[in-house]
Chains A and B, each alone.
Chain A
């Protein structure tokens, strides 16, 4: 690998790390499409994406461990369902690769998923709601207020199909429901090469009714395992390229420090709309690349890569700009709690 490529991966890692550290999600969804755009085979793009997710989640879990925001009982139940989902997802990718369809179908799924979530986050941000992000300063030990549980989660909690398990915050839910959610998110992880956090964390909250802080901490704990298992499964078939993963991780670990420090001094609502737009641009980038393949226009690959890098740069830049602006403001008060 050339020094230029190495520097590109480290820089890209820093951008992704800032986003992950600040938003608590979105650490991986750019990596696999970027690798696909750069011409890596689907197996390497997905496998290396998963290995990157694994490394990033190890670092994040180490940080959240001390905050007491991990429900180990829930996490281990999730791991069982996710492992089965991951294996099924990987088999689907390998099968589609044999048919020569893997790149196309993974890309289309990405466009729909990123586009859908991007629209939701942008809509919520414009509306002034609370969707698409993560509350950073919350008490993981507090019991759940019934009013805070989404209606759908209340309904799912009402299905008392044994065995029932009690989770942190006093939530009681059927193990089968947890396994079902875990399987679905594991399937997406294995299929798309993502940690599944941007799907699983909302799923834990909206479907199971787990309080947001515990959903975040448990999600990270679980991503660590799903990322590790997924990496191992892909590494068996030569899908993990350390020359990609190592520089990305070196960059993202540094970026995550900067991003998490920024959370205590920047108003997240200011940035949320950029995050939604970045997801939409990510979806557009993959769509442009697919159009390029279909029309035989190689130049669209570069347009697509520019969109991916540009959107990550735009949002990371917005986070940094807001952080510096807040620190330079006379009334800045958050620096004492910054990481």
Chain B
């Protein structure tokens, strides 16, 4: 996956960890923005307001 199979053992391992780190940071920022954008509307809808 992501073409990292061609890398050497240690580099491939570091690349895998790096990909997980980047995914986590992207998810943190992305979901943060999503929460800010739709959170209040969802809260109102659930609260029956």
Contact = CB atoms under 8 A, between A and B. Distances in A.
A117 interface: no
12 contacts: A54-B24, A56-B24, A62-B28, A231-B20, A235-B14, A242-B20, A246-B23, A253-B28, A254-B27, A257-B35, A338-B43, A339-B39
A324 B45 CA distance: 10
Interface stretch (A70-78, A180-188, A281-289, A327-335): A327-335
A293 interface: no
Contact of B48 (A59, A253, A328): A328
User: Interface extent on B, as a size class?
Assistant: 20 to 34
Interface in B1-49: 1-2, 9-10, 12-14, 16-17, 19-21, 23-25, 27-28, 31, 35, 39, 43, 46-48
Interface in A98-148: none
A242 B19 contact: yes
Contacts of A242: 1-2, 16, 19-20
Interface of A: 51, 54-56, 58-59, 62-63, 228, 231-233, 235-236, 240, 242-243, 245-246, 249-250, 253-254, 257, 261, 324, 327-328, 332, 335, 338-339
Given A54-B17, A235-B13, A235-B17, 14 more contacts: A55-B21, A55-B27, A58-B24, A231-B17, A232-B13, A232-B16, A232-B17, A240-B13, A240-B17, A242-B19, A253-B24, A254-B31, A327-B47, A338-B39
Given A327-B46, A335-B43, A228 B23 contact: no
B21 A328 contact: no
Contacts of A324: 46
A224 to B, nearest CB: 9
B4 to A, nearest CB: 8
Contact of B20 (A245, A257, A335): A245
B32 to A, nearest CB: 8
A246 B27 CA distance: 11
Contacts of B25: 58, 62
Contacts of B17: 51, 54, 228, 231-232, 235, 240
A250 B20 contact: no
A323 to B, nearest CB: 8
